[in-house]
A and B are shown apart, each in its own frame.
Chain A
């Protein structure tokens, strides 16, 4: 195998591949990147067995097709630090020789057959989505997914296709983000899958151009996404996602409308004095003003005011400020809208068109 490529393009590909490839694995073969050279392209393949990436470089000059399994991190680091414009990859006597101008390294390779089989994208039954719309839904929801141990089903984003609408939902059991977007083409079929957050983030990373149409394929236990350059697969989470629609309130008796930027700033201000043990801010309302109050035994207390538009009883309510900031920062409109019924019921934030965020309050037993 021998191929000449543009250093910058190769570097980009290797960076993507190494974001998938595990640093250490019980199966050492997957710590490598699989290089496959056909007549007109070089393909990089990496996987951690949960997610997999095929990345194709087309503007390359292939002198001799072939295949090699190369230590991923060392190769990526070496290529990143090279000075020349072009890089030559060549397999000689089971060594991978990387040269660029006067610089060169020789890496040991292992038998490519030890690498697991990574699927090819199946266009059959796939649907087409504008790349930017896909990443938008992921960015609107992923932050709410669970991170702590346990709660297996909540470690991913519930992805639904129904009635020509793509919907994503993420929750950690205390807050929930949900958003939809209409599909322009196809989408007559119905799909439901829990996609691990890591896989979703990789999907977003391979979508370079937001205007590009990407294809998504829902398989029985995996989901695939194809762009002009890459194919990404993620194994689905096999679990029962909580019945999310039941916890999204229709409307609340109290409606608060506040400037999103200002609200985020005031929240951050007050959150400074709250501690990890008592991560809570209290919102109270009177005469068109919202008071944000926080305190902790260790640090002290703080308060901030801002003008809001309030309708209804506007009972005092307390939330984790981190959860509020996560939402308000993502607000796409200038005004964020909060609706709730009482201090123990879920708060419903409207962060944009077809974009809802629900946060459970913090209560104090008296």
Chain B
């Protein structure tokens, strides 16, 4: 028996991927847009990028992560919509709820994408195929949106399957047909094969998944080390990763590309302040705190640097994150920036038990200032939740908030 059947049992993993999610939400909520090339993204004048494109827009070559200016060149009639993440999040929550009706093993990958493991749910809801159809139907009926679903014995194959018949796809990969489906695909379809690995593989005469699968495992490992074993196994459809419903968020951050390059450090610091306030508020509302703070800066010439610092204790206070971010910004070489971002990582639950210290002077201790600030911030958070995010704004950001809401009204 060929080795790929060794790990391949019955298909039981679903990969559900919403079709052109943001764009579809926009079209659903504004039927005038139906049939038009629609893209969600920032304005070209602001050097925005496309977040999502409808299938009509994709026909012109518009795709996500593309600069809006380029998208408009390709498709002058493109209808550009500014993103409204609140509505996308609401739709996403509904969809995730639908998944959880069928199985508790749901691993969200993003707002519009998730892995589901339906093993053991057969007696309740029928086999994977039936569950897949039911989910697709529920999503359409309850959210008015279309999902593509891939069903396979492993995560890698399920994700591949959902992509095969997109949009409005529904594809089951059974053990017997894996080889036929995998072989003709380009190696870059393998998770973990990026542009560089693909180039190296091509130099060895490997361009398709089939080429890779036919090689000797030892040879691939010699060439690429441990990741060689990984991509070789994937080429055989072997993917031991399980669906992990409790996958923890590893980092949380925010970044922004500016309409024009900014060199003024004072303005950049103000921007950081705004990001830190926002990031810390998100961390607090999700009951998390982070220990590592990173600042990312992209220069006018696209050269990108990141500077990181690990704190002595984890925090979710805007002021603490901001103070650290400012230190880190000092370590970014001078020059006009087109993008700036801040990120908190090494996240932990705020309910993580805290060992109290005997002596207040230890560096392991959270400073008394932070404890006091934490209490004040908890009060402010309550106000924000009751009266809206702009109810309490740091004085130094008042001007920015006003400017932004005017901009939004335009």
Question: Are B350 and A362 touching (Cβ within 8 A)?
Answer: no
A321 CB, min distance to chain B CBs, angstroms:
12
Complexed CA–CA distance, A63 and B363 (Å): 60
User: Which residues does chain A contribute within 8 Å of B356, judged by CB atoms?
Assistant: 174, 344, 360-363
Question: Are B353 and A173 touching (Cβ within 8 A)?
Answer: no
User: Which residues does chain B contribute within 8 Å of A151, judged by CB atoms?
Assistant: 362
Question: Contacting B358 at CB < 8 Å: which of A171, A320, A344, A365?
Answer: A171
Which chain A residue has the least Cβ–Cβ distance from B358?
A247
Decide yes or no whether A328 CB sits under 8 A from chain B. no
Question: Are B354 and A364 touching (Cβ within 8 A)?
Answer: yes
Decide yes or no whether B85 CB sits under 8 A from chain A. no
B residues sitting closer than 8 Å to A (CB atoms) are 350-359, 361-364
Decide yes or no whether A149 CB sits under 8 A from chain B. no
Question: Are B351 and A365 touching (Cβ within 8 A)?
Answer: yes
A contacts with B: majority SS: loop
Cβ-closest 8 pairs across A and B: A360-B356, A242-B359, A362-B353, A280-B353, A247-B358, A173-B362, A364-B353, A362-B355
List A160-185 residues whose CB lies under 8 Å from chain B: 171, 173-176
Question: Are A360 and B361 touching (Cβ within 8 A)?
Answer: no
Complexed CA–CA distance, A210 and B292 (Å): 52
User: Which residues does chain A contribute within 8 Å of B353, judged by CB atoms?
Assistant: 278, 280, 318, 362-364
User: Which residues does chain B contribute within 8 Å of A361, judged by CB atoms?
Assistant: 356
A173-B362, A173-B364 given; A278·B352 CB < 8 A: yes
Q: Which residue among A173, A175, A344, A364 has the maximum number of chain B CB atoms within 10 Å of its CB? A: A173
Question: Are A176 and B351 touching (Cβ within 8 A)?
Answer: no
A173-B362, A173-B364, A242-B361 given; A360·B351 CB < 8 A: no
Question: Are B354 and A175 touching (Cβ within 8 A)?
Answer: no
User: Which residues does chain A contribute within 8 Å of B362, judged by CB atoms?
Assistant: 151, 173
Complexed CA–CA distance, A242 and B357 (Å): 12
B contacts with A: majority SS: loop
Question: Contacting A175 at CB < 8 Å: which of B351, B358, B364?
Answer: B358
Q: Give a binary string over A348-366; 1 marks a CB under 8 Å from any B CB, 0 the rest.
A: 0000000000101111111
Question: Are A176 and B354 touching (Cβ within 8 A)?
Answer: no
Complexed CA–CA distance, A174 and B354 (Å): 11
Chain A interface residue number, banded: 20 to 34
- List 30 A-B residue pairs with CB atoms under 8 Å apart, sorted by A's residue number: A151-B362, A171-B358, A171-B359, A173-B358, A173-B362, A173-B364, A174-B356, A174-B357, A176-B358, A247-B358, A277-B352, A278-B352, A278-B353, A280-B353, A318-B353, A344-B356, A346-B358, A360-B355, A360-B356, A360-B357, A360-B358, A362-B353, A362-B354, A363-B353, A363-B354, A363-B356, A364-B351, A364-B353, A365-B350, A365-B351
A200 CB, min distance to chain B CBs, angstroms:
21
A49 CB, min distance to chain B CBs, angstroms:
29
Question: Contacting A366 at CB < 8 Å: which of B351, B352, B357?
Answer: B351
User: Which residues does chain B contribute within 8 Å of A364, judged by CB atoms?
Assistant: 351-354
Which chain A residue has the least Cβ–Cβ distance from B374?
A365
User: Which residues does chain B contribute within 8 Å of A362, judged by CB atoms?
Assistant: 353-356
Complexed CA–CA distance, A346 and B357 (Å): 9
Question: Are B355 and A320 touching (Cβ within 8 A)?
Answer: yes
Q: Which residue among B352, B353, B354, B362 has the maximum number of chain A CB atoms within 10 Å of its CB? A: B353
User: Which residues does chain A contribute within 8 Å of B351, judged by CB atoms?
Assistant: 364-366
B367 CB, min distance to chain A CBs, angstroms:
15
User: 15 more A-B contacts (CB under 8 A) besides A280-B353, A360-B357?
Assistant: A151-B362, A171-B358, A171-B359, A173-B362, A174-B355, A242-B359, A242-B361, A318-B353, A320-B355, A361-B356, A362-B354, A363-B356, A364-B354, A365-B351, A365-B354
Which chain A residue has the least Cβ–Cβ distance from B354?
A363
B57 CB, min distance to chain A CBs, angstroms:
44
Complexed CA–CA distance, A175 and B350 (Å): 23
User: Which residues does chain B contribute within 8 Å of A365, judged by CB atoms?
Assistant: 350-351, 354
Which chain B residue has the least Cβ–Cβ distance from A148?
B364
User: Which residues does chain A contribute within 8 Å of B358, judged by CB atoms?
Assistant: 171, 173-176, 242, 247, 346, 358, 360
User: Which residues does chain A contribute within 8 Å of B355, judged by CB atoms?
Assistant: 174, 320, 360, 362
User: Which residues does chain B contribute within 8 Å of A278, judged by CB atoms?
Assistant: 352-353
Q: Give a binary string over A23-57; 1 marks a CB under 8 Å from any B CB, 0 the rest.
A: 00000000000000000000000000000000000
Complexed CA–CA distance, A161 and B151 (Å): 76
User: Which residues does chain A contribute within 8 Å of B357, judged by CB atoms?
Assistant: 173-174, 360
A292 CB, min distance to chain B CBs, angstroms:
15
User: Which residues does chain B contribute within 8 Å of A173, judged by CB atoms?
Assistant: 357-359, 362, 364
A359 CB, min distance to chain B CBs, angstroms:
9
Complexed CA–CA distance, A277 and B351 (Å): 12
Complexed CA–CA distance, A151 and B363 (Å): 10
Which chain B residue has the least Cβ–Cβ distance from A319?
B355
Which chain B residue has the least Cβ–Cβ distance from A318?
B353
List A319-357 residues whose CB lies under 8 Å from chain B: 320, 344, 346
A185 CB, min distance to chain B CBs, angstroms:
34
Complexed CA–CA distance, A366 and B357 (Å): 18
Which chain B residue has the least Cβ–Cβ distance from A344?
B356
List A222-253 residues whose CB lies under 8 Å from chain B: 242-243, 247
A244 CB, min distance to chain B CBs, angstroms:
8
User: Which residues does chain A contribute within 8 Å of B350, judged by CB atoms?
Assistant: 365
Complexed CA–CA distance, A361 and B353 (Å): 10
A173 CB, min distance to chain B CBs, angstroms:
5
User: Which residues does chain B contribute within 8 Å of A280, judged by CB atoms?
Assistant: 353
Complexed CA–CA distance, A151 and B365 (Å): 13
Complexed CA–CA distance, A365 and B355 (Å): 11
Complexed CA–CA distance, A280 and B364 (Å): 18
B361 CB, min distance to chain A CBs, angstroms:
7
B267 CB, min distance to chain A CBs, angstroms:
35
